[in-house]
Chain A
Amino acid sequence: MVPIASSDDVVIARQLGRALGSTLGFAGADLTVITSAISELAGNIIEYAERGAIVMTIVEKAGRPGLKIEARDAGPGMPQRAPTAIGSSAGPRLGIGLSGVRRLMDEFEIQSSAGEGTRVTVRKWVP
């Protein structure tokens, strides 16, 4: 788990993500995809909740290893936005970022409600 509160923390999370990713067998563009997702998720935490955490776990599905990245914060949440409407509202940066992350990764879930913070969970499987 990497606490996120500044751009230095983003760098640490990226470092950890890159190390875990390459240990799992991700390479080249896929590693860049993982660090991109971490940059976006961590950037959102700083921008909208000031602080939070990125949790990375090695997971497995049907014998295939993968990396799970969870971004948690206790910020204001996303009250007006349904998870299905990602990329269409709530400001261009968040829109492009979250919808982009959804497309970069293999799996994408979001839990968010007003006053209860936000939790975004993504997974990427080793090709």
Chain B
Amino acid sequence: MTTLAVAALAEEYAAALQEYSASGSEAALARAYRLGRHALSDGVGVLEMAALHQIASARLGGGAPAPGRAGEFLSEALAPFELTRRGLLEITAHLEDANNGLQRRLAEALQAFETAQDELVERRRIEELKNEFICIISHEVRTPLTSIHGALNLLSSGLGGELNEQGRQLLEVAYRNSQRLVRLVTDILDLQKIESGSMTFNMRPIEVKPFLTQAIEATQGFARKFGARLALAAVPRRAFVRADSDRLMQVMDNLLSNAAKFSPPDGPVTVAVTRNGGCLRVSVKDEGPGIPEDFRGRIFERFAQANAAAARAGAGLGLSIAKAIVEQHGGRLGFQTATGSGTTFFFDMPEWDPRRGAPKEAGPWPAQP
């Protein structure tokens, strides 16, 4: 409101007040109401109205109304403000309700979050305890197990004399099972080493084609037992990755063995390599039954087995180890599967440029370990 407008309002107020002082008429009160109403619309505040009243009373001097009448007039001039005050009270009440509701929901959400966090921490703690326990047991078991395994090996090579047929069979069972145990303990310790970052990788450039040929040759014998045929499809020329060849061989061995195990008799297991931007994808495709849907989510968990039949073949650590190795190389291991039409496991790794001694393309890969 401009100074001029305020002055006009003061003028009008004094005139109306004087009229009411003289007549006590409803017309003067209606005028007071109109005045207040305009003041409200123009954004004049209640305190300013009170000030206007003071100024007007002072200006009227002896013509000022008696206190009772002055009060009636001021009430009338302030009445319009009640129109909005009650609205504000309503709004405040609404806001308070809404605010309370929000506070309650926030508290609930926080509570739920804390519970979830506690559960997560607890689950991690149990997981760590479990791993630690398994590690300790493995360490403790390894030394005597190596002795047992070695002794059984010597016995089956004829040291200690010839055994009869039944003795040889029993020895064979003992030897085979001790071998399984040795492999399990080695796997557990390997996995623990990779995950704790204490496994060292001897990184050098590896040409993919000869490496895969070698991997297939090494697993061919095992695959034949399941009637699977391992084959290498087209591989891009001069494709390199930078890796620890023993560890990468372990990954290939795992993927090929798995594929062979689940391949139908005389079914093909195809290894292929594709270039995709700055990375190479090595895939192993079988024509087996596919991974059961309920198993897909936990396939990389330790000791995960789809069913009892699969458990015969291994402890269920192979894929966990393969995944950890690939990830330590800055790569990614994954799979595609459909019930009835086979499974493809693959890993992506940055392609290496041996001439420059650097990755071919700066990809979204983490730094090389």
Residues of A with Cβ closer than 8 Å to B?
7-8, 10-12, 14-15, 18, 29, 32-33, 35-36, 39-40, 43, 87, 92-93, 96-97, 99-101, 103-104
- CA–CA, A92 and B41, complex, Å: 8
- Render B47-81 as a binary contact track against A, CB cut-off 8 A, 1 for contact: 00000000000000000000000000001100110
Partner of A36, one of B27, B79, B90: B79
Chain A residues near B80 (CB-CB < 8 A): 36, 100
- CA–CA, A35 and B82, complex, Å: 12
B34 within 8 A of A: yes
- CA–CA, A101 and B27, complex, Å: 21
B249 within 8 A of A: no
Query: Is B26 a contact partner of A15 (Cβ separation < 8 A)?
Result: yes
Chain B's closest residue to A18 (CB) is B26
Query: Is A96 a contact partner of B76 (Cβ separation < 8 A)?
Result: no
Query: Is B41 a contact partner of A32 (Cβ separation < 8 A)?
Result: no
Chain A's closest residue to B89 (CB) is A103
Chain B residues near A33 (CB-CB < 8 A): 79, 82
Partner of A14, one of B29, B84, B86, B90: B29
Given A93-B41, A103-B90, answer yes or no on A36-B83 (Cβ-Cβ < 8 Å).
yes
B93 within 8 A of A: no
Query: Is A100 a contact partner of B87 (Cβ separation < 8 A)?
Result: yes
Residues of B77-117 whose CB lies within 8 A of A: 79-80, 82-84, 86-87, 90
Chain A's closest residue to B80 (CB) is A36
Chain A residues near B34 (CB-CB < 8 A): 7, 39, 43
Residues of B21-47 whose CB lies within 8 A of A: 25-27, 29-30, 33-34, 37, 40-41
Chain B residues near A103 (CB-CB < 8 A): 83, 86-87, 90
Chain A's closest residue to B86 (CB) is A103
Provide 16 A-B residue pairs closer than 8 Å at the C-beta atoms, listed in order of the A residue: A11-B25, A11-B30, A12-B26, A14-B26, A14-B29, A29-B75, A32-B79, A33-B79, A33-B82, A35-B79, A36-B33, A36-B82, A36-B83, A99-B83, A100-B84, A101-B83
